[in-house]
Structure 1
Amino acid sequence: MWEDVVVTAAPCNCKLGTITVLLGAHNVEIGELGRQEVWVHHRILHPEFNDETDEKDLMLLQAWN
């Protein structure tokens, strides 16, 4: 089990800049107890992702330790 990896949708892959993952949030508009923002170190886009059909719409995000 990888404790530093999150699965998300492939269109979340920002071509430029860095991204973060917001953990433990049910409402992003308010600060909640236990909420964490984690910087993403590595992005792994599914090698067969098709942005026209959204087939294989998966991406792994690995957090900085």
Structure 2
Amino acid sequence: MLAIITDNQILLPGQVCQSCLLADASGKPRWREGQLSCGRTISKITEEQPEQFQCMMGFRIVKIE
């Protein structure tokens, strides 16, 4: 599951990505083969952290298992 993290909230991508021009046709992030194609990977500080990405719109997206 993907979640968007802001300074004080956790949002579902459907709440944010629907209005993004880079989202897929269903209003979801472009997630392909374990990578966010509409953003870049953010390096982990520790192995325990979930995978993190920064989308082109500036939001931080976290992959929660």
Q: TM-score, normalised by structure 2?
A: 0.24
TM-score under structure 1 length normalisation: 0.24
* Greater Rg over alpha carbons, structure: 1
Which structure carries more relative contact order (alpha carbon 8 Å, separation 6+)? 1
